[in-house]
Amino acid sequence: MARERYFDLLRAVAIARVVTYHMFPLTVLELGFPSMGVMFALGGSLMALSLDKAATRATGVILKRLRRLLPALWVLGAIAVPAMLIHGWEDPPWATLLFWVLPLADPPSNEFGAEAAGPLWYLVTYLWLVVLSPGLLRLYRRAPLPVLVAPLVLLGIMLVTPLGLPEIVERTAGTVLAFASSWMLGFAHRDGHLRRVPGVATVVIAIACVAGALAWWQVYPGDEGGGITDLPLAYAVFSAGFTLVLLRWTPPTGWLARAPFLDGLVSLVNARAVTIYLWHNVAITAAIIVGNALELWNLGPVGEEGGTFLLALGLLSCAVLAIGWVEDVSAKRPPRLLPWPSKAAKAAGATPRPPMPGPMPVPVPHHPTPVPSQSRIEDQPTQDLTPRP
């Protein structure tokens, strides 16, 4: 199956927005593109595709997803955990250190390693949604709309009704519920349900979700008066409305092939998405330390921030070059230092995307042409598109 280049483009934009926002935490970036919701929706769509291809082998699909995800986390843990122990982590919670191996909940950290551990909630949420996907997909196909809305209802109940759950369980369940609807919008995209929704209705629903979430944020900004991401239910509805439009229409991406540098950059980001996501906070923190040592404040506010951002990109590029090949190994690809697409790879990826599932055609009787006995029909190779955060 050819790569879905529109998905590659959305994922690249989402990753770029995450890195930029963590360097420049501006509200316009936070609201302009809800990266987390988009990435979970892409993951849900590709997970449904893989489950349908695997038929009864759902366990194999789950294990394959984990194999693609976990090695990059293990590399981060192999560096971060010893560094935290060296830098004054006197009494680490030894039992929960296992979450650095299998992230069923947020891996623990001390203050020194907080920036490395901070983004890992995404991997935790992703893991749970992957494991739950076989059951969620069956439920969704039986009652699409109620199952799509159910996580938001359950999240609202959890937020207003004390359940007495341990904090680590409540936090994990909250993030899973917050993004389960976006994940299942991916199911709706893969099954062709979104295409059947009239365009006008799609826009009205999306505007209602986005406007309602923004209104809630303005009226009830939370105890700390932070951004909309500090309000899980509001941000979940906001993300769902935004993602609904992005997945309802699939614009042509042929123009991307005519911009070689941008096309290569999109491919590079997709091939190293996990590495970029896991290490960008570390790179930004290190860039701030180096920038202070270089006294970048002498360049003025704009020069200081611009110089720090360039330093962060340089350090992140070093991480991608040094350990990004782990993603190739976990995907059973030949390891590459820089996964820039070759001309042959671009030509292979130019195959049009197959149509969405539709009504089965009526078979027409025909007389098959005799085939020599020594010939055999081989399955066409397919390329599994594992979602990358």
pLDDT (0 to 100) of residue 327: 97
Average pLDDT over residues 132-138: 97
Residues 337, 341, 343, 346, Cα dihedral to 10° = 160
Give the global pTM: 0.86
**Calpha distance 328→68 (Å, rounded):** 9
**Calpha distance 87→93 (Å, rounded):** 15
Which tens digit of pLDDT belongs to each residue from 301-316?
999 999 999 999 999 9
The rounded Cα 33 to chain-centroid distance in angstroms is: 13
Which tens digit of pLDDT belongs to each residue from 4-55?
899 999 999 999 999 999 999 988 898 999 999 999 999 999 999 999 987 6
79 in a structural domain? yes
How many residues are recorded in the chain?
Answer: 389
- For all residues of the chain together, what is the average pLDDT? 87
74 in a structural domain? yes
In terms of residue numbers, what domain contains 70? 5-330
348 in a structural domain? no
**Calpha distance 142→273 (Å, rounded):** 33
**Calpha distance 134→143 (Å, rounded):** 15
pLDDT (0 to 100) of residue 343: 61
268 in a structural domain? yes
Handedness of CA 214, 220, 225, 231 (dihedral sign): negative
Six token digits for residue 193: 């349900």
149 in a structural domain? yes
336 in a structural domain? no
Give the model's confidence band at 369: pLDDT under 50 very low, under 70 low, under 90 confident, else very high.
Answer: very low
The rounded Cα 188 to chain-centroid distance in angstroms is: 17
Which tens digit of pLDDT belongs to each residue from 211-266?
999 999 988 886 666 789 889 999 999 999 999 999 999 999 999 999 999 999 99
CB 148 within 8 A of CB 185: yes
| More confident of the two residues 349 and 187 | 187
208 in a structural domain? yes
384 in a structural domain? no
pLDDT (0 to 100) of residue 43: 97
Structural domain tally of the chain? 1
Which tens digit of pLDDT belongs to each residue from 97-130?
999 999 999 999 999 999 999 999 999 999 999 9
Least reliable range by pLDDT among 166-170, 207-211, 345-349 = 345-349
